[in-house]
Structure 1
Amino acid sequence: MTRTSDLVIVGAGIVGLAHAVEAVARGLTVTVLERDERAVGASVRNFGHGCVTAQTGDALVYAGRAREEWLRLGEEAGFGVAECGTVVVARSAEERAALEELAAERDGEVELLDPAAVVSRVPVRADGLHGGAFLRRDLRVEQRRAVGAIATWLAGQPAADVRFSTPVLGVDAGSDGCVVRTGRGDVRARHAIVCAGHDLDRLLPDVADDAGLRRCVLQMLQVRTGTPVTVGPAVLTGSSMLRYPALAGTAGAAALRERWGTERPDLLDAVVNHMLTQLPGGDLVVGDTHHYARTPDPWSSDGLDELLLAETRALLDAGDLTVVRRWRGVYADAPGEFLVRPAGPAATAVAVTSGIGMTTALGLAPAVLDTVPL
């Protein structure tokens, strides 16, 4: 399988596909190599949540660009993208204060809600509510179909060659281009972009070591409610305010973290971001917990699942909850939100190292390709 193209991309998750889509738009020829027969990693194990407003810095810029690309690709590749926004639920004075600070900073993007308005939008319990906020720019992507649909759409473009079940064994990048060695033969290109996610250390261990890469393991659930509910927007809670940077940087979030250090250390110890989205069939995706290690233990924890279920029962007015699926998500983690590093004269390693690949990858790719000598 010796082939020649302008760009070879390792990995057909959302980060790799984002670079392929952008490269084709620039008139480049692209070969995409994916070790599995379909994407089964972080790109399908997530909430399908395009969290635009709660980002800061480069991530906010990339998320804004990605939002427009998601809407375009949803139409062209044929998967669901909903401009549904996000409801952030405040169940304490500190959480309400954090939302008021964000609303003051992001004029027109954040609508503050009183308790009645929150309950009218999402089926949460009214008792103890301090109100909430609606983040109008956020999206919900049909995450279990989107990446496969983009790959199929991309394979239909004359300039793109998408190869599944093709494990990459190594990347040799020199001054006159690169050779990507695979289990099915060599692929030659002018430049390689390695989007191997948390497995970057398998291909480029020196780059991963230098970046301080490790793995973040999540526990997540798909649950069915005893009483059918409709949850149009994504739903974030106080624990989400400690995770997303535009909220985590507020005085309200700092005060919440201090209080939870005494009252809810279980949430802090498990690094919980309790949030949920609804799948097309009605089930809810609920998560998540975070554990960080270069080589994580392979075991899941029933206690963490029960913690998520208890938080969901306390949040929703939806009857009993039945767990339909349980899974562990894994993504690359390193200092900073994005890893973009040279891996030789004709290769670049790219990873989203903050769990926001679905939110930002389609906006990150143009910035990366602007720096690639093609």
Structure 2
Amino acid sequence: MTPAPTVPPARFDVAVVGAGVVGLAHAWHAVRAGLRVVVLERDEFAVGASIRNFGHICTTAQSGLVYEYALRAREEWLTIGADAGIPVAAHGTAVIARRPEELAVLEEFVGERSDDNVLLTPAQLADRLGFDAPGALGGAWLSLDLRVDSPTAIPAFAAHLAGRGVEFRYRSNVLAVESDRVVTTAGDVAADRVIVAVGHDVDRFFPALAEEHGVVRCRLRMIEADAPAGITVDPGVFTGTSLLRYDGFAETKSAEALRDALAREAPALGEHGVNLMFTQRLSHSGAAGRLVLGDTHHYSLTETPFEDEASDELLLAEFRELLGADHLVVRRRWRGVYASSPRGPYLVASPAPGVTAVSVTSGIGMTTALGLAASVLDL
């Protein structure tokens, strides 16, 4: 019997490994450019950092090239929201200042970017927040920031891309990446260009590249709780710790005094790498949802499987004070993990011809991936 002829695999213009926000961002720009795109994902759906975050599109607090990517990403999110029916809240961010040093950072920052940001008195801050934050000396409103509900927005974004012609192959574990071919457990995929967007797992594919860039895993703790007294908080909410985490604030001259004050007055926050911030879940019905509280930051090449209860207790104590609540009803807790590198906010490298490894190594994938991907693809 004559053997059946071997049918070569279908060829794509772009194959994307990873269905998180970085992978979807590349697929978004590629398909709109008329390219044939396939997305390969090892799980049944995205379960990583892209759905475990605040859903906060933190445009305003970025700096330099990252700020440019964030501005582009903001416009893309608004377009995606309108096209795909994904709720995107444009209520900005309210920053609560409870120390004079925090107010000084905000005054300097707003003085440099007054077009999109305003300082707030305590009364104005309470009006923006929808509640009185005990001990607030004032604050600021950052108008450009957006908010989505990540656990629903990411799968809705993927479904929208599928409707535009992007082929998704879930449960396809990638075994090898070559210049014109991706080998998976579900068969080979031929592509002119391969984008490997697997976040902290970049070291599983390109260990030498990850080591060269000093990539480690940042482990987070996050908590979801009922909004006390049924409050509705439209903006995202930052506190003084946020002013040391985002470069737009951290690069101010006033930031050093704040760093000293926090180290002196609240050393546990630094010990657990706390960025005390929260957002409120969005829903299609418009009803106010639970609060997403966080987060801690611990860094290591290999994650420990054990959770330290002290991190959660610290977060809950801080939020009870911030919200003026005697008790918080916790509904869910989880671990987030993302790539981190001391060499900069992004790893973008070509380990082989036609192959680009792309990882956001700073925890700002939701904020900047849609801008970064346009740059990587030159679109």
Q: 1:285 to 1:238 in 2, by over 3 A?
A: same
Shift >3 Å, 4+ stretches: 123-127
Work out the number of aligned pairs and report it.
Answer: 366
Cα separation, 1, equivalents of 2:136 and 2:208: 49
Q: Pairwise mapping of residues 10-49 of structure 1 onto structure 2 (< 5 A)?
A: 10-49=17-56
**Does 1:150 find its partner at 2:157?**
yes
118-127 vs 336-345, which deviates more? 118-127
Cα separation, 1, equivalents of 2:264 and 2:142: 30
Q: Pairwise mapping of residues 295-374 of structure 1 onto structure 2 (< 5 A)?
A: 295-334=302-341, 335-370=343-378
Shift of 1:247: 0.7
**Does 1:84 find its partner at 2:91?**
yes
- The residue aligned with 2:116 is 109
Cα deviation digits, residues 86-118 of structure 1 (max 9, x gap): 000000110000000111111211110000111
Cα separation, 1, equivalents of 2:32 and 2:325: 45
Contact 1:229–1:282 (8 Å) recurs in 2: no
Contact 1:87–1:134 (8 Å) recurs in 2: yes
- 3-state SS of the aligned residue for 2:38? strand
Shift of 1:317: 3.2
Shift of 1:264: 1.1
Higher strand share: 1
Cα deviation digits, residues 249-272 of structure 1 (max 9, x gap): 223321111122222111111111
- The residue aligned with 2:249 is 247
346-355 vs 121-130, which deviates more? 121-130
Q: 1:127 to 1:8 in 2, by over 3 A?
A: closer
TM-score (norm. length: structure 1): 0.95
- The residue aligned with 2:12 is 5
1:167 to 156, 168, 173: 173
Cα separation, 2, equivalents of 1:318 and 1:227: 9
Shift of 1:146: 1.1
Cα separation, 1, equivalents of 2:300 and 2:117: 35
Contact 2:46–2:155 (8 Å) recurs in 1: yes
Shift of 1:123: 4.2
Letter in 1 for 2:147: R
Letter in 2 for 1:354: S
Cα separation, 2, equivalents of 1:226 and 1:232: 15
- The residue aligned with 1:259 is 261
Identity of aligned residues (%): 52
Cα separation, 2, equivalents of 1:325 and 1:255: 36
Cα separation, 2, equivalents of 1:261 and 1:114: 26
Q: What's the Cα RMSD here?
A: 1.3
Q: 1:275 to 1:212 in 2, by over 3 A?
A: same
Cα separation, 1, equivalents of 2:133 and 2:372: 39
Contact 2:63–2:247 (8 Å) recurs in 1: yes
Shift of 1:338: 0.8
- Structure 1 spans left out of the alignment, 5+ residues: none
Shift of 1:225: 3.3
Q: 1:133 to 1:184 in 2, by over 3 A?
A: same
- The residue aligned with 2:211 is 209
Cα separation, 2, equivalents of 1:229 and 1:273: 22
Contact 2:100–2:137 (8 Å) recurs in 1: yes
Cα deviation digits, residues 140-182 of structure 1 (max 9, x gap): 0121111101111111123x21111111111012xxxx11000
Cα separation, 2, equivalents of 1:269 and 1:123: 31
Cα deviation digits, residues 327-346 of structure 1 (max 9, x gap): 00000111200110002011
16-25 vs 116-125, which deviates more? 116-125
Letter in 1 for 2:159: T
2:102 to 95, 99, 108: 95
- Structure 2 spans left out of the alignment, 5+ residues: 1-7, 283-287
Shift of 1:217: 0.5
